[in-house]
Amino acid sequence: MDEPETPRLTIHEVARRAGVSHQTVSRYFRHNETLRPATRAKIDLVVQEFNYRPNLVARSMRTRHTNRLAITLPASSYLWPARLLRAASSAAHDGGFQLEVVSVEGDPRARAERVLELAGSGQVEGILSLTPLEIDPSSSPVPVVVTGDYDDMLRGVNELADASPIQEIVEYLASLGHRVFFHIAGAQSWASARNRKQVYEQTIERLALTSYGVALGDWSPQSGYDAVRGLPDGCGVTAIVAVNDHVAMGAVRAALARGWRVPGDVSVFGWDDEELGRFATPALSTVAVDREAQGREAMARLIAAVRGEPAPPPPERSINRIIVRETVGPPPAGVY
């Protein structure tokens, strides 16, 4: 005989087991910061023991709130900012919201019209747009927050296009004794690629170093491979600064194919801290980009707007961090 199904735990039962009022439990799920730590800890124990989740559907019927948020991105882009989306989704769920990702078609004006339709549908309480919108925020019935980190094709701009770590990379390689550099750039239709090329050239000139030149690649490992295979013997290059990890791994493979030691004869730096680069042989030196922080911070701004709370202050941090691994070392003896 089957055992009777255990009835679903209610907010009142959570309150009874924690020894608090159901209003206090409600404040707990709204992440009310006025709750005392001891009270929060008692509710935590019950919630974790029974894996309790509030009934969002019932809540929405009582309060006329949907507890749903949306992230919009252009349908025409082949890019997918997965790390940012995962972090934003987690932050939304932690805030008591469900989240859906909506692709919107058309040019910026058409996408803005679609976002306004979604805002007026009553289905969501707020919208986070990853791309610019031609929209008057006052015309939307729910808050609309734009991250400002991507262009209309989901190519990184603003903070994501910050190229200042290139300066630090060149300075670090120069401190090891490198004097002849080579840059393998990305597609120049990207602000991030243009900025990295510009900072590379400016830093080389400022430090009175030598650049063998810039190869205009397309972000692919093949472009990195072809660029290094195309270097003439005796070019003197001992340091290669690649626009991303894919290009850098192609460059490493080409160097090894030529019989060059990495890093014994040439050092290579990438960008993005791709997982494959961490496990490559040699492990790739790179720039880690904290896209998760961007997702969490953007969602925090949206949740604050939905709740009518002050926007969180801008973070005092850089999303970029240089990581030195096995592809970087001093130049060959006698090159100093």
Secondary structure (H, E, C), 210-233: EEEEEEECCCCHHHHHHHHHCCCC
Characterize 96-105 residue by residue with b for buried, 16 or more Cβ atoms within 10 angstroms of its Cβ, and e for exposed.
bbebeebebe
SS3 of 88, please? Answer: helix
Share of the chain above pLDDT 70, in %: 88
Residue 24 parent element (H or E): helix 22-29
What pLDDT band is residue 78 in, cutting at 50, 70 and 90? low
What pLDDT band is residue 56 in, cutting at 50, 70 and 90? very low
Q: What is the pTM of this model?
A: 0.73
Beta strands in the chain (DSSP E): 68-74, 98-104, 126-129, 144-146, 180-185, 210-216, 239-242, 267-269, 286-289, 320-323
Query: For residue 4, what pLDDT is reported?
Result: 44
Determine contact, residues 248/228, Cβ cutoff 8 Å. Answer: no
Average pLDDT over residues 150-160: 70
| Most confident stretch, 77-91, 92-106, 253-267 | 253-267
Query: For residue 177, what pLDDT is reported?
Result: 97
Q: Phi then psi for 293, rounded to 5 degrees? A: -60, -40
Q: How far, rounded to the nearest angstrom, does the alpha carbon of residue 156 sit from its chain's CA centroid? A: 10
Q: Phi then psi for 2, rounded to 5 degrees? A: -70, 145
SS3 of 303, please? Answer: helix
Query: For residue 58, what pLDDT is reported?
Result: 46
**β-bridge mates for residue 102, sequence order:** 72
Q: How far apart are CA 144 and CA 113, in angstroms?
A: 13
Mean pLDDT score of the chain: 86
DSSP annotation of 308: T
What is the residue whose two structure tokens read 């078609």? 105
Q: Where are the alpha helices (DSSP H) in 135-233?
A: 164-175, 191-206, 221-229
Assess whether pLDDT exceeds 90 at residue 330.
Answer: yes
Lowest average pLDDT, out of 141-145, 179-183, 203-207, 229-233, goes to 141-145
Residue 43 to residues 34, 40, 96, 314: CA-CA distances in angstroms? 14, 5, 15, 31
Determine contact, residues 241/171, Cβ cutoff 8 Å. Answer: no
Assess whether pLDDT exceeds 80 at residue 10.
Answer: no
Lowest average pLDDT, out of 65-79, 107-121, 242-256, goes to 65-79
